[in-house]
Amino acid sequence: MKKFIFTIILGVSLNAGVYTNQLIKCMVKNTTPQNITTLKKWMFFAFAQDSDLKKYAKISLKDKKEVNKEMGKYVTKLLTDKCAAELKNAVKYEGAKSISIAFEYLGRIAGSAITSSPDVKLFFSDLTKYVDMKKLDKILK
């Protein structure tokens, strides 16, 4: 996980300004494995609200409220306590978009944590059963 986070931070420099980059680094540094779990749950719950996906995930109103509460607590602590100075500078010098850019990177970390799960990897690998590899090989030769 640490290696992946380092890789993400290296990529930050290419897409973000100096102050946004500092905000991202602070947010990553102050994100615990428990925070990543909260972020993964919150993202899953959010994606499950999509009209094409909603029927596959039955999430109670109580659970939605709880995960939003957990996420709100995490975001508040991160932005007003742990990374307040970095947030202030990023917004002052690079605009409010710096916040969404920073959270995009946290989302990538959470997404990587999800896709690195053995069960998720197994699900992904099952796709190869349904891809016509002969056709693909023919194009790649």
Q: Which of 91, 93, 106 is nearest to 12 (CA)?
A: 106
The answer on pLDDT for 14 being more than 90 is no
pTM of the model as a whole: 0.81
Return the structure tokens found at 101: 């850019």
Residue holding tokens 């995009």? 104
Contact 25, 101 (CB under 8 A): no
Count of positions (residues) in the chain:
141
Contact 19, 90 (CB under 8 A): yes
Return the structure tokens found at 126: 């099952």
- Which amino acid is residue 96, in one-letter code? A
Burial of 113 (0-12, 13-18, 19+ CB in 10 A): middle
- pLDDT tens per residue, range 26-60: 999 999 999 999 999 999 999 999 999 999 999 99
Residue 16 pLDDT level (bands cut at 50, 70, 90): confident
Residue 79 pLDDT level (bands cut at 50, 70, 90): very high
